[in-house]
Amino acid sequence: MTSCYKLQAFIITLLFLNLFRISVASIVSTGNFNDDFFVMWAPSHVNTSADGRERSLKLDEESGSGFASNQMFLFGRIDMQIKLVPGNSAGTVLAYYLASDQPNQDEIDFEFLGNVSGQPYIVQTNIYVDGFDHREERIYLWFDPTEDFHTYSILWNLYQIVFMVDSIPIRLYRNHADKGVPYPRWQPMGIKVSLWNGDSWATRGGQEKIDWSKAPFIASFGDYQIDACIWKGNPRFCRAYSTTNWWNGSRFRTLNRVQKRWFKWVRKYHMVYDYCQDYQRFQNNLPKECSLPKY
């Protein structure tokens, strides 16, 4: 083989290897909790169906409980079907989030705050970047989330973070790093889910405590989907656009027209708290992203 052909063969092989690395960096989940997650807290309080397709977490006076993904990810979309704690769940917190587990922690959080029977559930979202949070938003859900499973999603890419409920966007956080706004874009994160006692703050600022006579408190999890870039130590593969890393494509850089309408509807009729409107908390010096476009 001539040196020219050898060079061509080397280049083709290198391109193939790079494409292969990108393709294996993404995962479409198995749908089996036993395969994709491990129990990180109180195995006796975690119950999984025989086929691995459903799981529940229990909170009682003895302990809360939780599970986490086997893999770490950098960008992607996570969908989780959840049925929240029914009845008087005041003081309980179900957290479903991404976390980097580093000293300068990044997090993308869903927190479902228990309620007194008959009151609407509150969903709190929060974003940590480099160990700093204080970016809470709260909405009331427009349905009873304890009667059936609903899908709670996180889309995280180079351009935006979108929190969704049944595909309806309830919160956006754009990448304005070029304007000095922190954005989680370098640290891989794992998926974590936990049910715990948050009655010092969760319901009406801690005024409503857990009624342990109603225990055990149980949250249930059904179908889920993980379509994300598995962390292999090199962010380049996760930051690149490909058919595998579809979430980095141009159509996911902002909301489409229909999504924008839904987003405005949520904020107009269901918003409870927005840190970007809390002038007292920030002493009239709101975080920089509050004055920048959301989409």
Where do the structural domains in the chain lie, given as residue ranges? 35-291
Rg (CA), the chain: 21
Q: Which of 54, 61, 62, 111 is catalytic?
A: 111
Output the CA–CA distances (angstroms, integers) from residue 128 to 106, 110, 147, in the order listed.
5, 12, 31
How much is the pLDDT for 24? 42
Question: What is the separation of C-alpha 145 from the centre of its chain, rounded to a whole number of angstroms?
Answer: 17
The pLDDT tens digits of the residues spanning 146-168 come to 999 999 999 999 999 999 999 99
Structure tokens at 30: 């198995």
Residue count (the chain): 295
Domain 35-291: state its class.
Answer: mainly beta
Question: Which parts of the chain have pLDDT scores under 70?
Answer: 1-26
How much is the pLDDT for 30? 86
Which DSSP category does 144 fall into?
-
Q: Residue 83, by phi and psi: left (phi above 0), alpha (psi -120 to 50) or beta? A: beta
The pLDDT tens digits of the residues spanning 167-213 come to 999 999 999 999 999 999 999 999 999 999 999 999 989 999 999 99
Q: Is the pTM of this model over 0.85?
A: yes
DSSP sequence for 45-108:
GEEE-TTSS-EEEEE-SS--EEEEESS-EEEEEEEEEEEPPPS--TTEEEEEEEE--SSS--EE
Active site (annotated) includes residue 208: no
The rounded distance, in Å, linking the Cα atoms of 208 and 243 is 49
Active site (annotated) includes residue 111: yes
How much is the pLDDT for 25? 54
DSSP sequence for 127-142:
EEBTTB----EEEE-S
Q: Which of 54, 61, 62, 107 is catalytic?
A: 107
How much is the pLDDT for 227? 95
Helix residue spans in the chain (DSSP H)? 3-24, 33-36, 235-239, 257-269
Which DSSP category does 10 fall into?
H
